[in-house]
Chain A
């Protein structure tokens, strides 16, 4: 096996205080010598510079042909690692040896210029990604074909729909053919159909025995594509092994908030998982079991579940809807219960504290662990959304009343089967 990337003791420090000061003006710099003594605390000790180690001592060997999925929660250092390997930023210490041509894809459509046409952007973006003009020429038809933008080739991309834009951007990237490919979370773009197509293209690229480093929150994609998984946790390698094992390690052994799973009465007003731009309208989520008692712990497949959403309407409004969405741990949306789906719901003007009660007569989820998100819409616009408000473990039960417990797939579908009466053979 040939080692193509040799990562040795890589560390990266970001200066927090200093960083903030970096955005300051000359005035700050000019006055700094005069304020030497200022940042001392009461004990007369100089305040240490606030710094944050995004990576501490990461060492890895990447073999030729490896397809590595790098997973880890936000802030674990995944993107920093890829940025260092792609030479976008320097490490603070350590070194990396790379053998082969690197192509990195930390974002699709980097350097796209809105005023330029699709055709022009293919050449520009291709060159930025490191393709030679002859390479772009050779792949041109494949790129436009994959993106499906034929008729708009000579239209400025600022007139493209966002879907078209992303499709074009991805297909240029997908035709990049370096020896080592570095990909950061770029598959989270486009509609589901296109994402599927991209994953297919990625898998194809990976099977061409290239070396791939792939960061994603889409654990299913990591499992499908990668042969090796690395879990980063707080800037260190926490696990390195088969991708499936890495995912298991990430989901089960790394979870430090196991207590949260027990109670399903969740205060949403100060939730750190709220989409940052939203003002906290949602106050609380409560889950109740089939006996209308507050749900503790797990819930069996097919049982009744009641979700109560408390929220606040600051101004009088008539059209408002709450929703409760279910995702797999891998981040795949399974279904959404939405008050807008209720034909008999009351529409009247309300303000202040409100409560929506959602009843799910039979929870159609296969045993496993699920994330629950809560959202609020006013006049059909999303005004609040709390991601991963709580996690629900669905346990086995005799859903179909046959003793056969379904475990495959993600949801259960009522279905009927009937065996036709035995037919008699008709001789011809």
Chain B
């Protein structure tokens, strides 16, 4: 009567798509993993969830002083703190998510060696948990907008689309790095450096205008460049480069799909080499 579930175990070969049916079966586990990552992240800290806010806040203050007093940067109308915070929201999410996601699998070594579950949930759970941090930053953005009497507009309805874009880019990169990290721990050392450099290649602290035209297109290969522009458009109504946003969106999609396949490919050896 119970023999409904039939499973075939054999060597897996080649590139395989994600098994959506299985992900659905295990959906509760994803929920628990996200919940765990949220709960655990700020355990035994004094400030707790406030840390989610402090990082972009302090960055905003420092950049605010630096680029209004020391080396003034002209934005297109929005006060610099608003300008930079709108860029820091997606960037902070991206940098933290990629770092934590790339280390997530090796942090769950014990689980991977001892039990089967869709491994993809480990980096995904981590990224989803950081989505909560982004939500906290959005709340603070609301306060900033109110403080500067910045008008609300219908453009803000674009926001979910750009948030989704951030998740795609982060997810794709997170999956690839997490999977490679299982085998080559170089990733662990590479990622912090890489995010630090990428920060400067993303128009977070400066407007895109500052770059020469021919460089702007290349910047689209950085998925976060378009997302940061998108955030500014949706939140502040900034004048942004749509071609850049299109290229970044395409890059994000490609990265995500490639990440899924790449992860599935490497997944089968995780338990043996981790």
**A contact residues vs B (CB 8 Å cutoff):** 2, 4, 14, 19, 22-26, 29, 83-102, 104, 106-107, 110-111, 113, 115-116, 120, 123-124, 127-130, 132-133, 156, 179
Chain B residues whose CB sits within 8 angstroms of the CB of A113 once the complex forms: 36, 40
Chain A residues whose CB sits within 8 angstroms of the CB of B11 once the complex forms: 90-93
Chain B residues whose CB sits within 8 angstroms of the CB of A92 once the complex forms: 11
Q: Answer yes or no: B55 CB below 8 A from chain A CBs.
A: no
Query: Contact at A98–B9, with CB atoms within 8 Å?
Result: yes
Known: A83-B271, A113-B40, A120-B39. A91 touches B186 (CB 8 A): no
Known: A100-B3, A128-B117, A133-B28. A85 touches B44 (CB 8 A): no
A163 to B12, CA, bound (A): 40
Q: Answer yes or no: B157 CB below 8 A from chain A CBs.
A: no
**B contact residues vs A (CB 8 Å cutoff):** 2-3, 5-12, 28-29, 31-32, 36, 39-40, 43-44, 108, 110-117, 183-186, 268-269, 271-273
**Nearest CB in chain B: distance from A126 CB, A:** 9
Looking at A88, A94, A96, A101, the one whose CB has the most chain B CB atoms below 10 A away is A88
**Nearest CB in chain A: distance from B232 CB, A:** 36
What are the 3 tightest A-B residue pairs by CB atom distance, in nearest-first order?
A: A95-B10, A96-B9, A87-B116
A104 to B117, CA, bound (A): 11
Chain B residues whose CB sits within 8 angstroms of the CB of A106 once the complex forms: 114-115
Residue of B at shortest CB range from A15? Answer: B272
Q: Return 26 A-B CB contacts under 8 Å, by A number.
A: A2-B3, A24-B184, A25-B184, A25-B185, A87-B9, A88-B271, A90-B9, A90-B268, A94-B10, A97-B7, A98-B5, A98-B7, A98-B9, A101-B2, A101-B5, A106-B114, A106-B115, A107-B114, A110-B110, A111-B110, A111-B115, A124-B32, A128-B29, A128-B115, A130-B117, A179-B2
Known: A95-B8, A127-B32. A110 touches B2 (CB 8 A): no
Chain A residues whose CB sits within 8 angstroms of the CB of B183 once the complex forms: 22-23
Known: A92-B11, A128-B29. A99 touches B111 (CB 8 A): no
Query: Contact at B6–A123, with CB atoms within 8 Å?
Result: no
Chain A residues whose CB sits within 8 angstroms of the CB of B184 once the complex forms: 24-26, 29
A96 to B117, CA, bound (A): 18
A312 to B208, CA, bound (A): 74
Residue of A at shortest CB range from B10? Answer: A95
Partner of A86, one of B6, B28, B29, B116: B116
Residue of A at shortest CB range from B268? Answer: A90
Query: Contact at B3–A124, with CB atoms within 8 Å?
Result: no
Known: A14-B272, A89-B271, A113-B40. A96 touches B3 (CB 8 A): no
Known: A106-B115, A129-B115. A99 touches B28 (CB 8 A): no
- 6 A-B pairs besides A87-B9, A92-B11, A128-B29 with CB distance below 8 A are A22-B183, A25-B184, A85-B9, A89-B268, A98-B5, A100-B2
Residue of B at shortest CB range from A98? Answer: B7
Query: Contact at A25–B9, with CB atoms within 8 Å?
Result: no
Query: Contact at B114–A110, with CB atoms within 8 Å?
Result: yes
Chain B residues whose CB sits within 8 angstroms of the CB of A19 once the complex forms: 272-273
**Nearest CB in chain B: distance from A291 CB, A:** 53
**Nearest CB in chain A: distance from B267 CB, A:** 10
Partner of A91, one of B9, B32, B108, B114: B9
Chain B residues whose CB sits within 8 angstroms of the CB of A22 once the complex forms: 183, 273
A397 to B113, CA, bound (A): 50
**Nearest CB in chain A: distance from B263 CB, A:** 15
Query: Contact at B9–A110, with CB atoms within 8 Å?
Result: no
A101 to B3, CA, bound (A): 8
A29 to B185, CA, bound (A): 13
Query: Contact at A110–B40, with CB atoms within 8 Å?
Result: no
Chain B residues whose CB sits within 8 angstroms of the CB of A89 once the complex forms: 268, 271-272
A91 to B272, CA, bound (A): 11
